[in-house]
Amino acid sequence: MPEGKPAYQRCVQLDDENRCQLFGLPERPAVCVTYAASVEICGDTNEYAFVQLEALEKATRP
């Protein structure tokens, strides 16, 4: 996504299991490489993580 990923848009690099197809590759964006997942944000299910990420996107919307 050359212009970055807009909030509320699924990253085009995620596969059907929500795994990054660029993981470990030099093409992976720096923001993704430096993101440190935490239990507070990601929990232990995709559903929990999506709720938390949506809340963060809403809270930081310009």
Q: What is the pTM of this model?
A: 0.70
- What would the pLDDT profile of 46-60 be if each residue is shown by its tens digit? 899 989 988 988 888
d(CA 25, CA 15): 15
pLDDT for 3-49, tens place per residue?
888 877 888 999 999 899 999 999 999 989 998 889 988 999 989 99
Rounded to whole angstroms, the Cα distance separating 41 from 51 reads: 9
Domain ranges of the chain: 34-59
